[in-house]
Chains A and B, each alone.
Chain A
Amino acid sequence: EAQVTQNPRYLITVTGKKLTVTCSQNMNHEYMSWYRQDPGLGLRQIYYSMNVEVTDKGDVPEGYKVSRKEKRNFPLILESPSPNQTSLYFCASSLSGRGAGGYTFGSGTRLTVV
């Protein structure tokens, strides 16, 4: 089944403890991106990647890092999480970055930083 898989689905962590949220897609998509969704603010793009080793900032990149060493994986790294990074996170992938097939989204990772 074609899908974007995020892990974990739920995560509670403490301030300052480094964490990684994994994202993997099995569709050979070139474009991948990370979003956070917050009440009242909607869905905002954190980082995106156009291909292996090519990444760029989205609208809210502060406090996050990403890497794209393989085409299928695009992990989101929080080096020193803070409570304001408590949010619902989504990974998404697309074959071409703009196409009739749109972006396929993962099921989300609900992160709580205490």
Chain B
Amino acid sequence: SQELEQSPQSLIVQEGKNLTINCTSSKTLYGLYWYKQKYGEGLIFLMMLQKGGEEKSHEKITAKLDEKKQQSSLHITASQPSHAGIYLCGADRGSTLGRLYFGRGTQLTVWP
């Protein structure tokens, strides 16, 4: 079974709209990463969250990790076509450094 569930699988929004992508785990997350991927290309690191309740922002993108450290959300404010791509959440597999696993991704389309 997929250990990191992302929702929605795909999202189509009009430019200027806000949106949220969720990443849920059945286990406590030691480290939660958000990446963006253009189709068929490498992953670009966005943010990493470690502490319960932590929130980080970069430009118009905000990521949060809940207090229980089992769910994270990625929120984009006033979306732009440049935000389009696949958003992936990844997490450390337990306490072992270097072991990562990923959700299946959320495909975001932003139309003008």
Contacts and interface: CB of A to CB of B under 8 A. Distances in A.
B43 A99 contact: no
Contact of B104 (A42, A88, A100): A42
Interface in B82-112: 88, 90, 92, 97-105
B13 to A, nearest CB: 22
A50 B103 contact: no
A110 B102 CA distance: 19
Given A42-B103, A98-B31, A102-B48, A31 B88 contact: no
Contacts of A112: none
A interface: dominant SS: strand
Contacts of A56: 98-99
Interface residues of A, number: 33
Interface string B13-37: 0000000000000000011010100
Contact of A48 (B30, B35, B88, B99): B99
Contacts of A31: 97-98
B43 A49 contact: no
B99 A58 contact: yes
B88 A43 contact: yes
A105 B35 CA distance: 10
Interface of B: 2, 30-31, 33, 35, 40-45, 47-48, 50, 88, 90, 92, 97-105
Interface of A: 4, 31, 33, 40-45, 48-50, 56, 58-59, 88, 90, 92, 94, 96-108, 110
